[in-house]
Structure 1
Amino acid sequence: MADGYKTVAYSQTTLSELMIPSYSNFGGKIHGGVILSLMDKVAYVCAAKHADAYCVTASIDTVDFLAPVEVGEIVSLLASVNYVGTSSLIIGIKVVSENVKTRVMKHTNTSYFTMVALDDNNKPVQVPGLILQNSNEIRRFYEATRRKEFKKVYKAEQIKIKASTDIEDYLETLKDERCVIEGKFA
Structure 2
Amino acid sequence: MEHGSRDITLRFLAEPSDVNFGGKVHGGAVMKWIDLAAYACAAGWSKKYCITAYAGGIRFVAPILVGSLVEVHAKIIYTGNTSMHIGLDVRANDPKDPAQTLTTHCIVIMVAVGEDGKPTSVPQWNPTEPKDIFLRESAIRLMNMRKQIGDEMQAHVMPFDEETS
Question: TM-score when scaled to structure 1?
Answer: 0.80
Query: Is 2:143 the counterpart of 1:148?
Result: yes
Query: Which whole-Å CA distance do the structure 2 matches of 1:6 and 1:146 have between them?
Result: 25
Q: 1:17-166 maps to which residues of 2 (within 5 A)?
A: 17-159=12-154
Q: Report the alpha carbon displacement of residue 100 of structure 1 after superposing the two structures with TM.
A: 2.0
Amino acid at match of 1:87: T
Q: Is the 8 A contact 1:81 1:90 kept in 2?
A: yes
- 1:74/1:128 Cα in 2 relative to 1: closer, same or farther (>3 Å)? same
Q: Report the alpha carbon displacement of residue 154 of structure 1 after superposing the two structures with TM.
A: 1.4
Q: Report the alpha carbon displacement of residue 14 of structure 1 after superposing the two structures with TM.
A: 0.1
Query: Which whole-Å CA distance do the structure 2 matches of 1:23 and 1:73 have between them?
Result: 11
Q: Report the alpha carbon displacement of residue 164 of structure 1 after superposing the two structures with TM.
A: 10
Q: For structure 1, list consecutive stretches of 5 or more residues without a partner in the other structure.
A: 166-186
What fraction of aligned residue pairs are identical, expressed as a percent?
31
- 1:163/1:55 Cα in 2 relative to 1: closer, same or farther (>3 Å)? closer
Query: Which whole-Å CA distance do the structure 1 matches of 2:49 and 2:158 have between them?
Result: 36
Q: Report the alpha carbon displacement of residue 161 of structure 1 after superposing the two structures with TM.
A: 6.4
Q: Report the alpha carbon displacement of residue 20 of structure 1 after superposing the two structures with TM.
A: 1.5
Query: Which whole-Å CA distance do the structure 1 matches of 2:3 and 2:112 have between them?
Result: 15
Question: TM-score when scaled to structure 2?
Answer: 0.90
Q: For structure 2, list consecutive stretches of 5 or more residues without a partner in the other structure.
A: 161-165
Q: Report the alpha carbon displacement of residue 103 of structure 1 after superposing the two structures with TM.
A: 3.0
Of the structure 1 ranges 67-76 and 16-25, higher mean CA displacement relative to structure 2 is found in 16-25
List per-residue Cα deviations over 1:65-86 (Å, max 9, x = no partner).
Answer: 1100001110000000111111
Return the match for 2:7 from 1, 4, 12: 12
- Give the number of aligned pairs: 161
Question: Secondary structure in 2 aligned to 1:129?
Answer: coil
- 1:85/1:94 Cα in 2 relative to 1: closer, same or farther (>3 Å)? same
Query: Which whole-Å CA distance do the structure 2 matches of 1:63 and 1:148 have between them?
Result: 15
Question: Secondary structure in 2 aligned to 1:131?
Answer: coil
Amino acid at match of 2:107: Y
Query: Which whole-Å CA distance do the structure 2 matches of 1:57 and 1:24 have between them?
Result: 25
List per-residue Cα deviations over 1:35-62 (Å, max 9, x = no partner).
Answer: 1000000000000111111000011112
- 1:161/1:32 Cα in 2 relative to 1: closer, same or farther (>3 Å)? closer
For the pair shown, which has the larger CA radius of gyration, 1 or 2? 1
